[in-house]
A = this chain, B = another copy of it.
Amino acid sequence: MPRPKVPLLSADRIADAALELVDSGRPFGVNALARALGVTPSSLYNHVSGRDEIIELIRGRIAAQYLPDLPEGTWDDVVASTMRAQRRMYAEHPNAIPLIVGKTITDPFTIASYDNLATGLLGAGFPEGEVLTVVAILDSFALGFGLDLASPDDIWQPQGPTQTLGRLLAGAERGAARSDRAFEEGLELLLDSLRLRLSRLREDD
């Protein structure tokens, strides 16, 4: 029997090709993805309902890689582990960010990661009405630092005199070392604030 020209389509193959297309910086869409897979758009529509489902496949693919195990331990261990994993995930796929942040999350891996985080915060003593606010703060923090890690070794190159920035840059760390330090210090600042918030909540009881 002759071999088929292209391997059969599957959710896995579609997810891989979609992530590769987005990472490359080329425009993302059903037609472009069909071309990348060497199939017609209508064959692709036999497997996915459209753009939204493909974005969820991309999210699921990177979540399964970076957030595979739900961290356990004290609530601050859960927060720190989740933030570190999310940051790395975003840093390695910065072009996917506008797509995945622009769409409601349904992917079960990603939902499980946020559910684990929310459960940890609730167990620590944050009131039900505050937990999702804290999750949003942590989420924004990880997202911003993912982009920070993906940014060039030199963030600023002033073209003229500055009051402070140019002088500080002259002796400053650069690249991943700079971003790693800022992320870990920022995480510690945030955790300190959250610990203080918890101790105040306990006093109010």
Contact = CB atoms under 8 A, between A and B. Distances in A.
A119 B193 contact: no
Interface in A122-173: 122, 128-129, 131-133, 136-137, 139-145, 147-148, 150-152, 154-160, 162-165, 168-169, 171-172
A52 to B, nearest CB: 11
A108 interface: yes
Given A143-B148, A193-B193, A108 B160 contact: yes
Given A26-B27, A111-B156, A159-B108, A140 B186 contact: yes
Interface residues on A, range: 35 or more
Contacts of A103: 152
A64 interface: no
B140 A104 contact: no
Contacts of A89: none
A102 B148 CA distance: 9
**A104, A151, A183 — most chain B CB neighbours (10 Å):** A151
B189 A194 contact: yes
Contacts of A164: 115, 118-119, 122, 131
Nearest to A187: B137
Contacts of A27: 26-27
Contacts of A105: 155-157
A143 B101 CA distance: 12
Interface stretch (A8-16, A36-44, A71-79, A91-99): A91-99
Given A94-B98, A101-B147, A189-B193, 16 more contacts: A94-B102, A97-B147, A102-B151, A104-B154, A115-B158, A132-B168, A133-B181, A136-B148, A136-B178, A137-B185, A140-B144, A140-B148, A143-B144, A144-B147, A189-B190, A189-B197
11 contacts: A98-B98, A104-B156, A105-B156, A111-B159, A111-B165, A114-B156, A132-B168, A132-B178, A137-B186, A142-B144, A189-B197
